[in-house]
Amino acid sequence: MKTITLKLPDSVEMNQKDFLTFVAAKLYEAGRLTLGQAAELAGYTKATFMELIGNYGVSVFNYPASDLVRDVKNA
């Protein structure tokens, strides 16, 4: 696993756990991590992580609209 050191301004009101959750949620949203990988990065179970990512504007349903249209046609 990679380690990244980041310095945030004092004006950023976020503790380490919140920051990790935010980064994990955004990496999941971008398709860079699976739900399980993102949950592990943030230090939560999948179920708990799924409940929390909405706080960061991320949907649990990380599914491209084009795939959904194709699936509906195939149904």
Q: What is the mean pLDDT of the chain?
A: 88
In degrees and rounded to multiples of 5, residue 62 shows phi and psi of -90, 75
Mean of pLDDT values over 44-62: 91
pLDDT at 14: 87
Q: Sign of the C-alpha dihedral, residues 55, 62, 19, 47?
A: positive
Mean pLDDT of 3-10: 87
Phi, psi of 16 (to 5 degrees): -60, -40
> Three-class SS string for 27-69?
HHHCCCCCHHHHHHHHCCCHHHHHHHHHHHCCCCCCCCHHHHH
Its pTM stands at 0.77
At residue 67, does pLDDT exceed 80? Answer: no
Please say if the pLDDT value at position 63 is more than 80.
Answer: no
Question: Quick one: pLDDT at residue 65?
Answer: 66
